[in-house]
Each structure stands twice: as C-alpha cells, then as structure tokens.
Amino acid sequence: MNLDERALEIAKILKKEYPDPKTELVHKNEYELAVAVMLSAQTTDKKVNQVTTALFKKYPSWEELSSADISEVQSLIREVNFHKGKADRLIKAARIVLEEFGGELPRDIENLIKIPGVARKSANVITQELWEIAEGIVVDTHVTRVSNRLGLTKEKDAKKIEKDLMKIIPKSFWRNFSGSTVLHGRYICTARKPKCGECVLNEVCPSAELGLSPVQG
C-alpha cells in the first residue's frame, strides 16, 4: 500500500468512525463561532466555552463588539491565553466585518484571513463548520500530532502539513478529515498517553506497530 492508498484508507476509516464531526466550541450563529474560534488559538475549547457565555451576553453581535471598551473585553476573556491581544483583535475584527463585509463573514479563506485574529486554520474551521465549504484542511496541534504519527507528513509547520495532506487526502474527505482528526487526537491519539488499544487506525498506523511511549508526541 503506497502513501496515497494509505491516506485514502485512513480518511475512509475516520469518516466511518466520525461520520459527522462538529466543533466543540459552543455557538448559536456565525458571529459566535468566529469569535470563539479566534479565542481558541493556543487555548482549549473547554476554556473558551467558559468565557464566551458572559462575552456574548454583553456583546451579542458584531455591532456591540465593535464599540466595546477594550478593558471590559479583556476582563471577560482574561482566563484564555493571550487575552489582551485577543481582546484588541476581536474589536478590530468586528469593525472590519462591519465596514468591509457588510456585517457578514465572507465565505472564502482569502477574505476571511483579512480579518484580524483569523489565520488560515481559523478560516478553515469557520468555512467548514458554518457552510461545509472545504478549501483546505484544518491543522491544529491534534492534527499535527496524528498526521505525523500516521506517517502522512514529517513536517511540523502547519502550512507545510496542510500542503502535504491536501496532496494525498482526496478533496471529498477534507471536511471530514479535519473534524475527525481533531477529535481523534483529542480523545484517542493523545499527546502523552495515546490509546492505541482503542484506535481504529491501528492496522494502518506505523506508530502503532512501533509502539508509542507515553511521552512521544
């Protein structure tokens, strides 16, 4: 089985195991998802969900957020990592969305990444979660770890990993692969103690054959 064939098999297995993966960021609309995604950089979804309830109550839309006092936003999101910088970018993002995009998020990565706080990974999450549009593959810490362990890439840089994956994963699987690999990395192929005995990818995973020590990443 060559790399392309193994990548396809992995994508099929993950789709069967996770037929409809969804983000664990709590949201009711595109505004709330975008804000939550921006807050989630280098912060767990669980922590983001703990702060967004109060944030969305105080600022329920781009309009309110655009005129927010930065110190108040910082206070509401202080439990997430880099909260001061994120507060500044959230307010700037709200203004850009209103002024340049008429209050609605653009549905393509090229324009989404023009919004402060939205990098390519975040843009991929937004397009896939909101509209099931897959222009690329989400690469976070979980996807990085799982893809390396599966031998799908040797890269550590997110952009290079995404390019490698897009070459070997058929586009029809990009949406599912993104979401399912995040969940698989979060709950099965964990960083310190991967649950290889419970993993549906055992037969196609070179790391499973070698045996992972608890500290291998």
DSSP 151-183: TS----SHHHHHHHHHHHS-GGGHHHHHHHHHH
Domain with residue 77: its CATH number is 1.10.340.30
Query: Which of these is catalytic: 28, 47, 86, 140?
Result: 140
Shared domain for 172 and 120, answered yes or no, is no
Shared domain for 65 and 88, answered yes or no, is yes
* pLDDT tens digits along 123-148: 999 999 999 999 999 999 999 999 99
Asked if residue 168 is part of any domain, the answer here is yes
Which residue, chain included where needed, has tokens 């699987």?
Answer: 173
Shared domain for 88 and 71, answered yes or no, is yes
Residue that terminates a domain, selected from 131, 149, 166: 131
What Å distances lie between residue 69 and 48, 73, 75, 107, 200, CA to CA? 20, 7, 10, 28, 48
Question: DSSP string of 122-137?
Answer: HHHHHHHHHH---SS-
The per-residue pLDDT for 208 is 81
Shared domain for 202 and 114, answered yes or no, is no
Residue that terminates a domain, selected from 131, 152, 178: 131
How would you write the pLDDT of the chain (217 residues) with one tens digit per residue? 899 999 999 999 999 999 999 999 999 999 999 999 999 998 999 999 999 999 999 999 999 999 999 999 999 999 999 999 999 999 999 999 999 999 999 999 999 999 999 999 999 999 999 999 999 999 999 999 999 999 999 999 999 999 999 999 999 999 999 999 999 999 999 999 999 999 999 999 999 866 554 434 4
| Gap between the Cα atoms of 70 and 59, Å rounded | 12
Judged on CB neighbours under 10 Å (0-12, 13-18, 19+), 52 is: buried
Shared domain for 142 and 182, answered yes or no, is yes
Shared domain for 40 and 103, answered yes or no, is yes
CA 26 from chain centre, in angstroms, equals 13
Domain with residue 14: its CATH number is 1.10.1670.10
Asked if residue 173 is part of any domain, the answer here is yes
Shared domain for 81 and 155, answered yes or no, is no
Shared domain for 91 and 162, answered yes or no, is no
User: Sign of torsion, CA 146 151 152 154?
Assistant: positive
Q: What number of other Cβ atoms are within 10 A of residue 40's Cβ?
A: 24
Shared domain for 127 and 37, answered yes or no, is yes
What global pTM score does this model have? 0.89
Vertex 84 angle, CA 81 and 85, to 5°: 90
| Gap between the Cα atoms of 191 and 38, Å rounded | 23
Please, which residues have CB within 8 angstroms of residue 83's CB and are 6 or more apart in sequence?
74, 77
The per-residue pLDDT for 211 is 55
Total number of domains constituting the chain: 2
| Gap between the Cα atoms of 87 and 116, Å rounded | 11
- Pick left, alpha or beta for residue 81 (phi over 0 → left; psi -120 to 50 → alpha; otherwise beta): beta
The per-residue pLDDT for 217 is 41
Q: Is residue 164 flagged as an active site residue? A: no
Shared domain for 46 and 99, answered yes or no, is yes
Residue that terminates a domain, selected from 131, 153, 184: 131
Shared domain for 175 and 85, answered yes or no, is no
The per-residue pLDDT for 210 is 60
The per-residue pLDDT for 88 is 98
Shared domain for 64 and 15, answered yes or no, is no
Continuous H helices in 59-150: 62-66, 70-76, 83-101, 109-112, 120-131, 141-149
Asked if residue 216 is part of any domain, the answer here is no
Q: Is residue 16 flagged as an active site residue? A: no
Query: Which of these is catalytic: 121, 160, 171, 195?
Result: 121
The per-residue pLDDT for 216 is 42
| Gap between the Cα atoms of 13 and 180, Å rounded | 10
Asked if residue 217 is part of any domain, the answer here is no
Rg of the chain over CA atoms, in angstroms?
A: 18
> What domain range is 203 assigned to?
3-21+137-210
